Amino acid sequence: MKKNRNIILGVTSSIAIYKACDVIRALRHESFLVTVVMTENAGKFITPKLFESLSANKVHQGLFDSPENWDIEHISLAEKAGLVLIAPASANIIAKIAGGICDDLLSCVVCATRAPVLMCPAMNENMYLNKITQGNIAKLKALGFKFVEPKKGELACGKVGTGCLADIEEIVKEVKRNI
């Protein structure tokens, strides 16, 4: 049986968003098909055109954008996924998914998919180590969500701490393990 090599890459508003470009390149190098779903705030960091160029696919953003075809977008994206990868995963998207909140396209895709979901947190150490964030991560892990833990490094604030997006090679290795 051939594996479904369609990756839905969820991209959230984290300073590590620029590393999503390298994630796309690495996944395509491994012959995965990548479709990007950006949160609205992610679009304030990087334009969707960059991700379209790298993925060779349309970028999906708004829950209520006019569709190119008349499929229900979050359902059709959820059904085509062999895996949903969220990299970078902000504290906000982790909290929304843990709470069952579906108020944007990415959270709706995650709620609707039967594919494995792999999250790669990237945020300030204080946010990552916050008891609420850690509780949300523990809840999601108990529900079967997978995580590639952030690494220690220089954070956007200039301090050194845990919260940097995991190495691209580690993310791709976990994608291959979970698809």
pLDDT at 168: 98
Q: Which of 21, 111, 120, 157 is catalytic?
A: 157
Residue with tokens 């990237």: 122
The CATH superfamily holding the domain 6-178 is Flavin prenyltransferase-like (3.40.50.1950)
The first and second tokens of residue 41, run together, are 């705030």
Closest by alpha carbon to 37, among 131, 105, 115? 105
The first and second tokens of residue 125, run together, are 């150490």
What is the chain's mean pLDDT, rounded?
92
Burial of 49 (0-12, 13-18, 19+ CB in 10 A): exposed
Q: Return the domain boundaries, the chain.
A: 6-178
Closest by alpha carbon to 110, among 39, 20, 57? 39
Q: Could you read off the pLDDT of 30-49 as tens digits, one per residue?
A: 999 999 999 999 989 999 99
> What average pLDDT does range 116-132 have in this prediction?
97
- Does the predicted model carry a pTM greater than 0.95? no
Where is average pLDDT lowest: 20-24, 99-103, 134-138, 153-157?
A: 153-157
Our answer to whether residue 102 is catalytic in this structure is: no
The residue ranking higher by pLDDT, 88 or 68, is 88
> What average pLDDT does range 3-8 have in this prediction?
88
The first and second tokens of residue 123, run together, are 């945020």
Assign 81 a pLDDT band (cuts: 50, 70, 90).
confident
Closest by alpha carbon to 11, among 151, 165, 135? 165
